[in-house]
Amino acid sequence: MPDFSYNSNFNKEANFTSILFGADAPLLETELNELQSILLEKIRDSVRAGFKDGVINSGEVTYDGSKFTMKDFLVVVDGDIFYVSSLTIPASNGQKIYLTVEEGEVDYQSILKKYGNRQETNIVNHMYDARVNQETSRRQVITYDLTTSKPEKGIEIGEIINGEFKATYFKSEIGAKENIGIEKPQNGGIWYELIE
């Protein structure tokens, strides 16, 4: 039975860019997981450099006096870009609405939701490998939903004021942030200055 308790030795502060695997040396799961973490962090850093947390493309929003619905949004949260198909939440006057985002591990018995949307339909989980008659790997998945309580990770979408929805989300546009190349990154990475 596989042991999934050893996750990764990834450390952003080490600033590794790749892993060199040695000939005639065992290949460890921590090295493969670390390699994925290195590449994922580089991708997220690139997204963070071009987009702040917020909405890239906004779709349709409705509020009928008792429930709020948003459809067809493209959103950025902490370097991840994902598609919000459709979400609905009961909401009343004075309540703020947030998009809450979580990342977690799933296995072959987990229920998977389309696009990671916790309100969407279930999709088929293909993680169990019948060829070896066991689970050989697990996955990390980002899921999202709406909430009226401020989440640990996510963005504010808007607020119900006087019976109407008022959008308060940040519009994240394509293009480098103004401070790229000027300020030292807060979470490590390469520090450089633009040369004119």
Q: Give 98-157 pLDDT, tens digit per residue.
A: 999 999 999 999 999 999 999 999 999 999 989 999 889 999 999 999 999 999 999 999
Residue 98 is assigned to a structural domain of this protein: yes
How far apart CA 138 and CA 157 sit, in angstroms, is 32
pLDDT in tens, 47-98: 999 999 999 999 999 999 999 999 999 999 999 999 999 999 999 999 999 9
Residue 9 is assigned to a structural domain of this protein: no
How far apart CA 9 and CA 28 sit, in angstroms, is 11
Residue span of the structural domain in which 66 resides = 52-167
Average pLDDT over residues 160-166: 95
- How much is the pLDDT for 45? 94
Confidence bin at 176 (pLDDT 50/70/90): very low
Residue 103 is assigned to a structural domain of this protein: yes
Q: What DSSP line would sit under 117-184, residue for residue? A: BTTS-EE----EETTTTEE---EEEEEEEEESS--SSEEEEEEEETTEEEE---B--SS--TTTTTSP
Please state the domain count of the chain: 1
Residue 160 is assigned to a structural domain of this protein: yes
Residue 175 is assigned to a structural domain of this protein: no
- How much is the pLDDT for 114? 97
Structure tokens at 15: 């600033």
Average pLDDT over residues 34-48: 94
Angle, vertex CA 171, rays to CA 168 and CA 172, nearest 5: 140
Q: Which residue has the tokens 């609405």?
A: 97
Residue 186 is assigned to a structural domain of this protein: no
pLDDT at 196 over 60: no
Query: pTM score, two decimals?
Result: 0.81
Residue 7 is assigned to a structural domain of this protein: no
Residue 195 is assigned to a structural domain of this protein: no
Average pLDDT over residues 4-10: 85
